[in-house]
Structure formats: C-alpha cells, structure tokens
Amino acid sequence: MRAHALLREIFRNLTSGTSRLGALFLISALALTLAVLSDVLTISRTVDDAIEYRASGAAVVTLALPGRINGASCDALSEAPNVLAAGAMRPDGKVSAATLPGAPLDLYTTTPAFARVLGAEDVGAGVYVSTEVAANLGSTAVPLTAGAPTPVRGTYPYPPDGRRAGFGWAVLSPTSAGDGAFDECWVLSWPQRSDLRQLLLTAVTPGTGGAASQQPIVSQLNTKHGLAFAGSSEYQSRITRYAPYLAALVGLVLSAMAIRFRRIEIASNLHAGAARGTLYLQHLIESAAWSLPAVATAWIVGFVVATLTAPTELSSLALRSAEIALSFSVGTLAGTAFSFLMVRESRLGHYVKGR
C-alpha cells in the first residue's frame, strides 16, 4: 500500500468512527489526568508541609552553653552541607524606646550572620528588629536612645506560633564574631541533618573550673511540628509513586481493547493480501491519534495545577507529570504491538463466530 493510500485509509477510519477516536480519547484523557493529578497534589501537599515546617522555625536547632560559644566557629557552620545559616548570640538585658518607655525590648548581641537564621532582611547598617517592633516603632530607624534614632538594618518575622519566646519584641545588635564569647549557637539546616548536634558542638570552647562541668543544651526553636520533618518518609511511601505504572497499564489495556474490537477487520485485510507491516503501521498511527492528545491534555492539566499549588517545585512536578504521561504512551505502544501480533488470519472464522 502506498503512503497516500495508507494515510487516506487512516483518515477515513478516524473520521468515520471506525477507530473509536472520540471514546478512546475521552477515556484515556480522564484516566491519565486523574493519575497525574493524584501524584501532583500529593507532592504539593508535602511541599506545603515542608514550607510550613521551615517557616515555623522548626528547622532551627539551638545549642546553649553560656559563655562558651565561639562566634567565629558558629558562623562558619553555614559552610557545612545543608546548613543555610548559622550564628551566635548572647542576651544583653533590655533597652527602652523613647516612644514606648513602658515596654522595654529584649536586647541581644549577635554575630553578623545570626539574623539570617531568623530570615531577616539586610538593607545596610544598624540593628535588626522583629516585624512587630518595626510596625510599632518604625522600619527604618528606632528611637532606642535619647540621641539620634538607631538605624534599622533589617527586620525578621517572629510570630507566636509555638516557637521559643523572647524574640518577638526584641532588638538584635550585630557585632564581630570575635567580640567575646557567646551563650548560644543557632543553626538553620534544610534538609535537616541527623548529625546536627555533633556539628553544633564544634562551636563550643573548653571550659575551666566549674564551667567545665556544664553540659550543653540542644533544643529546637519550635517543637510544634515534631523534632524531624516527616514529609520525606511520607513522600517515599506515598501510594501515588506507582502512578507511572498505573498509567502504562491503562494505556496497554485501552490499546489492546482497541485492537480487539477490530480484529475481524485486521484478519480480513490479511486474508485479502494486505501486508502485516503496513496494517501494523496503520493501527499504530491510529492509536497515536487518540493517545497523544490524551498525553498532552494530562500533562497540561498537571502543569497548571502544579503552577497553582507548588510553584517553587514547578520544574520537578512538570517532569513528574511528563513521566506519568509518557508511561501511558509506552503502555499504548506495547498494547498495540502485542494485541496486533495476536491477531491471526487463520482465526478469521473464529472471530466472526465470536462477534
């Protein structure tokens, strides 16, 4: 059969309803879209949980040992893998604002990198204040002394969401990392490290006298969401991880059914002298005519949903949607090939009787 004759035959089958183009497209598009969406939405929920976990301060681990924290060593922990920020601090009493003398603020002296652990912005020189302080006293300068207002270098959020108290109404005054000993070392690690306690201990200086018997206290800034983020294990054990295999199975079954419905036609054409290779190419193209639009539809829906639910992970979710959709294509090709090979010209009479 010549190419133009083959294409004309395929066109007639698609437009006349012989290939069941509409029904197969609708069924495959619906099934494949459900498979894609189930995994995209499951992963999106895990991403949301991770964002909430980190935003709550649960990923910040602190080590307290008054007077025995080396500021430079603590700041240097930010160079370790998975450590996003690290810094040391020590309480320095309270300071009053001229406009609110009855509400003194907690004052902390910190290393230069400490504010990054709290997610502070950095716009120049001065002190860091919480967003609550900035809302009440000003975000560019705060009247902490009787003289000129102290410039604000940056602000950090510290909502009352279960995290350790004491920094929601506070001022952080950065100094050099070598300016004396500090009382605590804070580390923001993401993804979390299982050896973070050992890592924090590297910032401890040897004690003398009675101080040598003091034990460091390692704690979590916010324990409301658990000591460790459970999303990683939930992601690995999610049932939707099998979505590509399910999509391939659906593609195989649908394409096998499409060939089965037309086995009398195929056997008749073989009996009439049509070449098996040409007939296989015909049915392969007709299978692509309904499976590829279904693949495109499911991927587009998955991409749009990923954009709306987890834009930070859009690229990985788009690839995951493509993986599931393309698995359907592989299943369709396999189902078409296997079912077509099972059709025999010698069984034409059997096919007619079983119609």
Q: Do 46 and 61 lie in a common domain?
A: no
3-class SS at 188?
strand
Query: Which residue, 224, 259, 280, sits at the end of a domain?
Result: 224
Choose among 242, 249, 240, 251: nearest CA to 27.
Answer: 251
Q: Do 74 and 139 lie in a common domain?
A: yes
Strands annotated E in 98-238: 100-110, 127-130, 141-142, 150-156, 170-174, 182-189, 217-220
Q: 170, 130 in Cβ contact below 8 A?
A: yes
Q: Do 67 and 195 lie in a common domain?
A: yes
Domain that holds residue 142: 57-224
Domain count, the chain: 2
3-class SS at 141?
strand
Q: Do 259 and 312 lie in a common domain?
A: yes
Q: Do 61 and 85 lie in a common domain?
A: yes
| pLDDT computed for residue 348 by the predictor | 58
| pLDDT computed for residue 125 by the predictor | 83
Which residues 6+ apart lie within 8 Å of 98 measured at CB? Answer: 143, 144, 145, 146
Q: Do 123 and 190 lie in a common domain?
A: yes
Query: Which residue, 224, 248, 264, sits at the end of a domain?
Result: 224
Distance from C-alpha of 118 to C-alpha of 74, rounded to nearest angstrom = 15
Q: Do 121 and 264 lie in a common domain?
A: no
Q: Do 30 and 70 lie in a common domain?
A: no
Q: Do 153 and 273 lie in a common domain?
A: no
Distance from C-alpha of 150 to C-alpha of 146, rounded to nearest angstrom = 10
Q: Do 122 and 71 lie in a common domain?
A: yes
Distance from C-alpha of 249 to C-alpha of 43, rounded to nearest angstrom = 22
What are the residues facing 172 on neighbouring strands? 108, 128
CA diameter of the chain: 105
Tokens of 141: 């300068």
| pLDDT computed for residue 227 by the predictor | 80
| pLDDT computed for residue 271 by the predictor | 65
Number of C-beta neighbours around residue 12 at 10 A: 11
Q: Do 127 and 112 lie in a common domain?
A: yes
Average pLDDT per run of 10 along the chain, which is 355 residues long? Answer: 58 62 89 96 93 91 93 94 95 84 88 93 86 86 72 91 91 92 94 90 79 80 86 87 95 88 70 68 81 94 95 94 94 88 66 61
| pLDDT computed for residue 97 by the predictor | 81
Q: Are strands 217-220 and 60-69 parallel, antiparallel or unpaired?
A: antiparallel
Tell me the H-state helices in the chain. Answer: 3-16, 21-55, 71-76, 114-117, 131-137, 196-201, 231-237, 243-261, 263-271, 276-309, 314-342, 348-353
Query: Which residue, 197, 224, 251, sits at the end of a domain?
Result: 224
Q: Do 295 and 166 lie in a common domain?
A: no
